[in-house]
Amino acid sequence: MNMNKALKIVGTVLKVVALAIIILLTIYPLIWMISGSLKGTQEFYTNIWGIPDAWKFANYSAAWSRAGLGVKYMNSLIVLAVTLLVIIPAVGCAAYAIARTNFRFKKAVYSYLLLGLCIPTGVLAIPIFSAALNFGLVDKLSGMILFGAAQCMAFGTFLLRSFFISLPKSLEEAAMIDGCTRFQSFLRVILPLAKPGVMTLVVLDGITVWNEYLLASVLLRTDAKMTLPLGMKSFADKYVTDYPQLFAGLVIVTVPMLIIYVFAQRSFIEGMTAGSVKQ
């Protein structure tokens, strides 16, 4: 009995230590990124571990102007907002039709959209460049939006469909008896109930779109059209030596997605959980 108790305590201690190490591995680089962004150039090399002596917030404004982050920020925000505004309604409607209505080519349409999982951006990068030449979408934000949105169709349809299917049918029937059209009942009754699914999509697609780098490298050619990841890379290539400013730039790039994630978190986790675990 005593032996058992001792073992249990040792086990608990080991668990706590393991967890602490993993948490430290995750969070320390982030803290270090922020603290590095506030150091002077000299201090960055001499004071590797500690917090900065004097907090140089000037690094942020310097990075902002030297990397031309204003324009790139706007570009990234436009691409993010419009892409989500294209994806969510398109995918929502398609998923609803596949989940809740009957039509002749339902299975075919669903399988066709799911094919998107087989042709990811990686293998499409070079062909996308040629297609963009044909469409006149090279070096255009609209190119980032349309090609980016097409990549998100498959998973979005899959995820929302599984949400719609889990909702009871009586809900829409009641709404339709009350005089709603099919579309109105979808919009007012079903969609609000699928909020965790929608939020999951917003977070996952938002992360993908905001961080899109390969597509940007293929499509965007000029400084004025660059999005943040591409802009940060070219900033890093140009000013290799000024690490505190580079780190300040990294923090600036990272913050919006972190904020979205933290706010959407509860719905998001709920959505991920429901999407992956079928009880």
Pick the closer one to another protein by CB: 106 or 195.
Answer: 106
3-class SS letters over 256-268? HHHHHHHHHHHHH
Closest separation between CB of residue 2 and another protein, Å?
Answer: 19
Kindly identify the residues of this chain, within the stretch 14-33, that bind another protein according to CB under 8 A: 15, 18-19, 22-23, 25-27, 29-30, 32-33
User: DSSP characters for 57-119?
Assistant: THHHHHHHHHTTHHHHHHHHHHHHHHHHHHHHHHHHHHHHHHHH---TTHHHHHHHHHGGGTS
Closest separation between CB of residue 130 and another protein, Å?
Answer: 5
Task: Choose which of 128, 190, 201, 219 interacts with another protein (CB under 8 A).
Answer: 128
Amino acid symbol at 219: L
Q: Is 82 in the site for another protein (CB under 8 A)?
A: no
Q: Are 162 and 103 contacting, i.e. CB atoms less than 8 angstroms apart?
A: no
Q: Applying CB under 8 A, which part among 61-69, 93-101, 171-179, 191-199 lies near another protein?
A: 93-101
Q: Retrieve residue 103's tokens.
A: 């039509």
Pick the closer one to another protein by CB: 171 or 258.
Answer: 258
Q: Is 250 in the site for another protein (CB under 8 A)?
A: yes
Q: At what angle do helices 69-100 and 228-238 cross, to 10 degrees?
A: 150
Task: Choose which of 151, 163, 185, 242 interacts with another protein (CB under 8 A).
Answer: 151
Pick the closer one to another protein by CB: 32 or 64.
Answer: 32
